Structure 1
Amino acid sequence: MRSSSRALFAAAVAAVLVVLTPTAAFAAYYGRETDYAANWAPADVDQHWTCKGMTGVLVCFTGFGDYIKVYDDKSDGYAAAADWDDVDSSRSGSCVSKLGSGSRGTCSKNFTEGHTIRLRAARYNSGNPVDHSAWIDINVS
C-alpha cells in the first residue's frame, strides 16, 4: 500500500512539473516547409540563376530543376538560409544551410510552373531569425 502511495505521489508531482515547467520558445524557420541544404550543387551551365545577397549569405534560384542554392560566406555562427514564398499558393518555407562558413548547399523543390516565388537571403540563430534581405520576385517557368 505504501509503495503504491509513493508511486501515485511521484506521478502527481511529475504531472505538476510538466504543466508548470516553462518550455523554450518555439523556434522555426520561415514558412511551413523547412529543408536542410545538401552539400552539392547542380552544374551552373545554362541554369540561369537569379540571386539575392546580404552580409554573410547569397541565395540563388533556378527554374531548371527548381533548385535553391545557399552560400554561407561569413564565419559568424549563424545558419544561412533562403526564405521563399509561393505567392500564388499557400506554400512557403526555408532552405537552411548548416554546412558552415565557406560552403554552398542546395535544396531541390518542386514549384508549380507559372507561379511567382519570392526569395530572400536570411540568417538564423538556432532557428530564430537574426536578419534578412528584401524579397525578390521570380517567375517559375
Structure 2
Amino acid sequence: MEALVRGLWNDVKGVELGDFPVMTFAEAERRYGSDKPDLRNPMELVDVADLVKSVEFAVFAGPANDAKGRVAALRVPGGASLSRKQIDDYGNFIKIYGAKGLAYIKVTRTRERPGRYHQPGGEVPERGHCRSDP
C-alpha cells in the first residue's frame, strides 16, 4: 500500500514522499497512549513509575509497584499557567475514556524561585526529577 501511494504521488504530482514512518502497536501505545497517534503533536507519555514507587500516595505507588501497572506523565510546556478549572475540565474529559482521574504537578520557575512545585493532595517527587524548561 505504501509503495502504491508513493508511486501515485510521484506519477501524478511529481512529489517524492520518501518512506512512511512505522511503529509497532506496542510502541504507539507506550509513547502516545493510542494505536493511531497524531504525530503532528510532539508530546509523548513518559514512564515515571521508578520515581514514585516509594511515595506514600497510593494512586502512584500502587501501579508503580504492580508488574501490570503503569504510571506515566505528560510534560506540557507552559502547563503551569493552566487554571485549576482547566485542569479539572481535562480530568473530566479523560474519564470518558476510563481514567479514574488526573493527578498533576505544576513546575514553575522565576528568578526569585528557581524551582517551585505544586501538587494538590500528594507528594512531589524529589526536585532532581522535575525540571521547568521555558
Identify whether the pair has TM-score above 0.5, normalized to the shorter chain: no
**Higher strand content, 1 or 2:** 1
Q: Which has the larger radius of gyration?
A: 1
**Higher helix content, 1 or 2:** 2
TM-score normalised to structure 2 length: 0.25
